[in-house]
Structures are given as C-alpha cells and as structure tokens.
Structure 1
Amino acid sequence: MLAVVLSLAAAACFALSAMQIDSLTGRVGALQLARWQMTMAFGMTAAASLALGGWRTVGLEQFAWLAGSSVVGIMLATVCFVATIQLLGARLNALVFTLSAPFALIMGYAFRGETVNLLQGAGVGLILAGIVLAILGPGGREGARGQGALALGLGLGVITALGQAGGSLLARPAMLAGVEPFTAMAIRSGLGAAFFLALLALPPLRPAAWPAMPEVRRIGASAFSGMFLGMSLLMAALAHGDVGIVTTLSSTTPILILPMVWVVSRRVPAPMAWLGAALAVAGTALITLGQTA
C-alpha cells in the first residue's frame, strides 16, 4: 500500500511541475527556463548526494554513461520539453510524453537486443490510440497556443520523448552498476546546467532580461516538485514495491494533470481527453507488464 501511495504522489508531483512550467508561458523563454531549472535541480540533487555519500558509487565508466545520458536526456530533451509545454499546454504535453515508453522499447530492441512481446506491442497501440483520440476529439486542441502551435508542439514533443528514452537507455548501465539515484541525477543535471550556462557566451542566446523574482520562485518550485521531490518519491516507491506496479502508477501523470487543468482553467476537460489519457496510461502499463512477463 505504501508503494502505491508513493507512486501516485510521484506522478502528482510530475504533473504539478508541468503546470508550474505552463504558468510561465510568455514570461520566461524555454532556454532561459531550462537554464534556471537545471541549475536549481543540480543544487538540490547534489546536496542530497553529498548527504548520502553517493559520489562514492560513481566510477569513470559510470560517469561517461551518465554524461551521454545528460547530452540526450537533458541538454536536448529539456529545452524541447519546456517548449512543448509552452506550445501545447501541460495536458497535451503530458499525453505526448507517454511516447517515451514505446521509444524506449524500440531503442532497447534495436541497440540492446531486448525482446518485444505481444503485450508490449498492444501497449504501443494503446498509447498511440490514446494520443490520437485526445487530440482529434472535441476540445482536443485546447491548450495549444496560436496557429501552427499544435504541429510544432507535437514535433518537439516527439523529440522530447525520444531524448528521454535515449537518456534512460544510456543511464541504464550506470544505474545497474549501483550508482546512487540522486548522484546520477546530480551528474546529469549538473552537466546540463553547465551546457545551458555556456550558451550565454553566444549573444543571440542571451536573454533580454533576467526573470523577475516571482518567476524565479516558480521555476524553483517546478525543479523541486518534479526533479527533486517527484524523483525522491519514485525512488522510495521502488524501494517498497514491485517495479512494474510502481512504473505503471507513476506514469498516471496524464490523468492526474486533468483535475489540475480543470481547477486552473475552470473548464472540465473533454471526455475524449480523459479517455485518451486513460488509454495512454493503460498502454504504458502493458509495456511495463510485458517487460516483467
């Protein structure tokens, strides 16, 4: 029971983080937001790693895997993730992000020789069906900003999911070698922060102005709720429960975000939005169960 509560709490934290990023649309650019968020996330996870003594679990080989994971899963995916939220809104972004599960499945098959069974294939079909239903159904485009935002947002969302899946694939050898989770995240976010800070050397990529203090607090809250608290709850859930159940429940973000959107916008999401989110989560569950079958 504890693992169930922790898993759902982690999913709620991920949803809350997306809502906080969404609230900054039009006030902080995607690159600037990613720079601040990664820097803050590094500070939080590095402090936790030092407290736990996690740096002793990292060797040169593990650092190299995590560095590669940072390039794909942080430097590339983070900017696309933030831009997708700003273009599509938090609801559609959470739905498109479920594509990371089938992408990870395909990459595992292509690069690591992992098998794909019928249960996992059915899961991929459910995820795709859920996304299509939620977008093409009545009210499906609600949240997308401006003409052409849907197409561009979906494209960036696919890149985000690919980056997340690739980052997870590259991080897997390091995690299997016993690297402490907060330390792994500190390395990934620290290298990402250094990359985004280095981009300030290019005048066209410098922000016109610093974010105001309310925006800085909101960015810090998104880093804390998503990358620190959400990941902490997820790690705790994995320590107390079955991996398949924890992975499935922690992927319910597309459903849990709907009530949040309802509260903020004061509009009930369309029935197809609920159905599409449910199908996407069910598809993720089948992929996870297929890996343990």
Structure 2
Amino acid sequence: MGILALLEQLRSMVRDSLHRWRLILPPAVSPFPFPPESLAVLAAACWALAALFSAPVARKMGAFAFTRWRMVFATVMLGGWATVAGTWGSLNLALVSVLVLSGFIGIFIGDTVLFACMNRLGPRRSGILFATHSMMSAVLAALFLGERMGAVAMLGCALVLSGVMCAIAFGKRAGSESSLEATRGRLAVGVSLGLVAALGQALGTLVVKPVMGPDVDPVAASAVRMAAGFGFHAVLLLVGWKPARLTAVMEPRDWQLLAGSAFLSMAMGMTLILAALKYGSAGLVGMLSSVSPILLLPLLWWKTKVPPTLGAMAGALLTVAGVVLILARLS
C-alpha cells in the first residue's frame, strides 16, 4: 500500500502541475469510424516501408547524419503543410514548450542512445530492448494519465510485446551477420542504453498526450516536434562531434531516397502517432506502434525472396493475434 499510495500521490502532483500550467486540454472526440489507436498501426507500416528502401542511404550517410537530414526534409514538409492549411494558430506557447520537450526526450535522447546501444550490442539485441518501450508506454500511461485496460486488452498487449520480441530474437538465420551481433564493451552498459532509449521513446510520446486537445492540429504539432529534434541533433554537428558529420558523397538518387524516407517515417508516421494520441489511449498507441518489425517481415520477403524464419513467423502470428484482440476490444 505504501508504494501504491506514493505512486498515486506522484500522479496527482503531475496532473495538478499540468492543470496549473493549463497544459491539460479537454479530450478530443474521434471523427473516425474506427478505433483511433489503429492509426498507430498505420504509422508502424510507414516506418516499415521506409526502412525497406532507406537502409542503403542510411549506411552510406551514417546514422546521425541520416537522421538529421531526414528531420530537415520532414520539418520542411510538415511546416509547409501547416502553413498552407493555416493551422499554426492551433498551437500556443505552452504547447510548443511541451512539443520541444517531447522532441528532446523522444527524438534526440531516445534516438541517440539507441544508436549507442546498437553499436555495443548489435541490431538484434538492441531491437529487443527497444521493443520494451511499448510496455513502458502502457505502464506510464496507467500511472500518470490514469488509463486503464481491460483483461482482453492486457492479453492483447502481452501477445504484441512477446510477438515482436520473438520475431526479433529468432529472426536471424544461423551464421548471418554474426559480426554485427558481437558485444562491444560491457554488456550491462549496452543493456542500460537500450532500456534508456526505450524509456525516452515512451516518455517522448507520453508527455504529448495531455496537450493534444480537440483544436490542436497534429501536422503543426509534428512540425514543431520535428524541428526541435533537428535543432538538438544540429548541436552535435556544431560542437564538432565526428559521428554527426556527413562525409559521404551523395548522389541525386540518395537524396530522393532520403526525402521519401523522411516523408513516410517522420512526416506521415509521426503525424499519425500524434493523431492517434489526440483521440486514443496513449498506452495502446505505444503498444500498437511497436509492430513495425512484424510489418517489415513480408516486405523483406518480397524484396529478398527469402522467407522469414519460423521464429519470426511465430512472432508475427502472436503479434497479429494481439493486435486483433486490442482493436476488437476497442471497436
């Protein structure tokens, strides 16, 4: 009871502060004929499709330069969209402050630490650790936003999380890319970095939920969040941090792929996430947005002509079952 009482007191303090700063807006009524949380699945599909064709240019540019330039393109796209639509007026200074904070936590801290984890543990184990952001989102939403899930939704979330982890853990064929999976440095440090990256992703989206009121435009909000993320990433370049530099010679085709990746993953994907947060449950949005590795499986099968492993297929089936349970419960 002592721990529960402490958590309840902490949640009350957070909500009182948000009310005092006028950051909690009335909940928005969904205009969609389907559960708004399903927009998170569409966002995950955008991320999977972007990952399919952006990997070569990402390797060529380096992770930090690739992310920074994607933010440039996405900020221009979203900012132009919001300008033409005339929706900048839906934002106020307090909301912009929260969006900047979200960009700092989720995009700058989360992405930077994730890349550091990937360098230490490789893509497979870092992916497993990062997948825990869905569980963190659900727990934090329950603690601080008072969101509650029924038994069916909780079962669906458990299936989604276990399915994604199973697909990542058993998705590699024996002997493939073994050098990428070597541990560099202390294992505990790599694990800690992966969990911090997951927490950054969860917090980065969670802090936006209370301020996404009925009059807030997700496109304008996404533009501010993206611009903030770019600004923080640009600091790494300005201070002369070597990994942030772009040293590759870029071809026109590379810029085209980069722009396409920015449109799908950051302009469309992030805007869909904010729209889902505006109308739906933050915990379920975080959970459903984690299915990107599963949606990538059939795309890779189509591109490489190599079917997924049995472990990846089993994980995909678990994830699909979990998504169906969650969305059926919401319908």
TM class by shorter chain equals 0.7 to 0.9
Distance 2:144 2:288 in 1: 27
The residue that corresponds to 2:27 in the other structure is none
Aligned residue runs from structure 1 range 1-293, under 5 A: 10-80=43-113, 87-88=122-123, 93=127, 99-137=132-170, 139=172, 146-148=180-182, 158-176=195-213, 178-205=215-242, 206-207=244-245, 209-213=247-251, 214-230=253-269, 253-284=292-323, 286=325, 292=330
Distance 1:64 1:137 in 2: 41
CA contact (8 A) 2:132 2:195 kept: yes
CA contact (8 A) 2:162 2:318 kept: yes
User: In structure 1, the residue corresponding to 2:102 is in which secondary structure?
Assistant: helix
CA contact (8 A) 1:99 1:127 kept: no
CA contact (8 A) 2:164 2:290 kept: no
Task: Report the CA distance between 1:175 and its aligned residue.
Answer: 1.1
Q: Answer with 1 or 2: which has the greater Rg.
A: 2
Distance 1:26 1:259 in 2: 22
CA contact (8 A) 1:20 1:219 kept: no
CA contact (8 A) 1:12 1:256 kept: yes
CA contact (8 A) 1:99 1:158 kept: yes
Task: Report the CA distance between 1:43 and its aligned residue.
Answer: 0.6
Distance 1:190 1:28 in 2: 20
Task: Report the CA distance between 1:129 and its aligned residue.
Answer: 2.5
CA contact (8 A) 2:167 2:312 kept: yes
**Residue ranges of structure 1 left out of the alignment (5+ in a row):** none
For residues 219-275 of structure 1, the C-alpha deviation after alignment (integer angstroms, 9 at most, x for no partner) is 221101222244567789999xx968x969876533331122123333111122122
- With over 3 angstroms needed to count, the CA separation of the structure-2 counterparts of 1:2 and 1:111, relative to structure 1, is closer
**What is the TM-score when the length of structure 2 is the normalising length?**
0.69
- With over 3 angstroms needed to count, the CA separation of the structure-2 counterparts of 1:145 and 1:64, relative to structure 1, is farther
User: In structure 1, the residue corresponding to 2:208 is in which secondary structure?
Assistant: helix
CA contact (8 A) 1:140 1:272 kept: no
- With over 3 angstroms needed to count, the CA separation of the structure-2 counterparts of 1:143 and 1:243, relative to structure 1, is farther
CA contact (8 A) 2:43 2:269 kept: yes
- With over 3 angstroms needed to count, the CA separation of the structure-2 counterparts of 1:44 and 1:133, relative to structure 1, is same
- With over 3 angstroms needed to count, the CA separation of the structure-2 counterparts of 1:282 and 1:154, relative to structure 1, is farther
Task: Report the CA distance between 1:182 and its aligned residue.
Answer: 0.7
Distance 2:116 2:267 in 1: 21
CA contact (8 A) 2:105 2:203 kept: yes
Amino acid at match of 2:247: A
Distance 1:196 1:263 in 2: 34
CA contact (8 A) 1:65 1:171 kept: yes
Task: Report the CA distance between 1:62 and its aligned residue.
Answer: 1.0
Count of paired positions:
286
User: In structure 2, the residue corresponding to 1:77 is in which secondary structure?
Assistant: helix
- With over 3 angstroms needed to count, the CA separation of the structure-2 counterparts of 1:284 and 1:149, relative to structure 1, is farther
Amino acid at match of 1:179: V
- With over 3 angstroms needed to count, the CA separation of the structure-2 counterparts of 1:53 and 1:127, relative to structure 1, is same
CA contact (8 A) 1:98 1:280 kept: no
**What is the TM-score when the length of structure 1 is the normalising length?**
0.77
The residue that corresponds to 2:7 in the other structure is none
